[in-house]
Amino acid sequence: MKKLENIEQFETLKNEGKTIFMFSADWCPDCRVIEPILPGIEADFPEYTFVYVDRDDFIDLCQEMDIFGIPSFVAYHNGEEAGRFVSKNRKTQEEIEGFINDLAQ
């Protein structure tokens, strides 16, 4: 998974094709729980570019996007927000895959 390096990169990635941003942090226990399943999810959805956004490095972006719980996912299709799975609750593989599958509809 790519790691977001700056706001300019965020703007570029959200406007190019299909991108899912995963908002997370190294200290987040619920984020660590899903970490082992993420490579499989990425492999199952190759049409998406997955980008890790460290909440602590991009706190202003998180506030601007109303991301107050992690892990959270926000998807873009060519610059338009396609969906969000944002909450402070732990996410399961099934919930994440369901979120991504629902984006196509």
**Residue 62 annotated to the active site:** no
Closest CA to 72 of 21, 23, 4: 23
Query: Which of 22, 31, 53, 65 is flagged as catalytic?
Result: 31
Query: Which of 4, 20, 22, 28 is flagged as catalytic?
Result: 28
In the chain, helix, strand, coil percent, each to 5? 40, 25, 35
**Residue 28 annotated to the active site:** yes
Residues annotated as part of the active site: 28, 31
